[in-house]
Amino acid sequence: MSAASKWKANDMPDLAGKLAIVTGANSGLGLETTRALARKGAKVILACRGQAKAEAAIDELAGGGIDRELLEFRACDLSSLASVREFCEGVCADHDQLDLLINNAGVMALPYRTTEDGFEMQIGTNHLGHFAMTGLLLNPLLATAGARVVTVSSVAHRIGAIDLDDLHSTQRYQKWVAYGRSKLANLLFTNELQRRLDASPARGHQVIAVAAHPGYSSTNLVFVGPQMTGNSLFERASALGNRFLAQSAYMGALPSLYAATVADVSGGEFYGPNGAMEMTGYPRRVRAQKRAYDRTSARRLWELSAELTGVGYEALAPA
Indicate if the pLDDT at residue 294 is higher than 70.
Answer: yes
pLDDT band at 236 (very low <50, low <70, confident <90, very high): low
For the stretch 267-306, what's the b/e string if a residue is b when 16 or more beta carbons lie within 10 angstroms of its beta carbon?
bbbbbbbbbeebbbbbbbbbebeebbeeeebbbebbeebb
> For residues 227 and 37, which has the higher predicted lDDT (pLDDT)?
37
> Any catalytic annotation for residue 282?
no
Predicted local confidence at residue 2, as pLDDT: 46
Number of separate domains in the chain: 1
**What CATH code is carried by the domain that includes residue 51?**
3.40.50.720
Residue 201 in any domain: the answer is yes
pLDDT band at 204 (very low <50, low <70, confident <90, very high): low
Three-state SS at 8 = coil
Residue 319 in any domain: the answer is no
Residue 316 in any domain: the answer is no
Predicted local confidence at residue 222, as pLDDT: 45
Least confident among 113-122, 124-133, 226-235:
226-235
Query: Could you report the per-residue pLDDT of 283-292, keeping only the tens digit for each?
Result: 999 999 999 9
Structural domain of 148: 9-309
Query: Could you report the per-residue pLDDT of 69-117, keeping only the tens digit for each?
Result: 999 999 999 999 999 999 999 999 999 999 999 999 999 989 999 999 9
pLDDT band at 220 (very low <50, low <70, confident <90, very high): low
Indicate if the pLDDT at residue 254 is higher than 70.
Answer: yes
Residue 186 in any domain: the answer is yes
Residue 224 in any domain: the answer is yes
Of 127, 303, 102, 301, nearest in space to 210 by CA: 102
Q: What percent of the chain has pLDDT over 90?
A: 83
**Residue ranges of the alpha helices (H) in the chain?**
28-39, 51-63, 81-94, 121-122, 130-136, 138-142, 175-198, 221-229, 232-244, 249-261, 295-309
pLDDT band at 243 (very low <50, low <70, confident <90, very high): low
Residue 2 in any domain: the answer is no
Mean pLDDT of the chain: 91
pLDDT band at 249 (very low <50, low <70, confident <90, very high): very high
Predicted TM-score of the model (pTM) = 0.92
The rounded distance, in Å, linking the Cα atoms of 31 and 216 is 16
Residue 167 in any domain: the answer is yes
Residue 19 in any domain: the answer is yes
Q: Of these residues, 112, 173, 179, 216, which one is catalytic?
A: 179
Predicted local confidence at residue 232, as pLDDT: 55
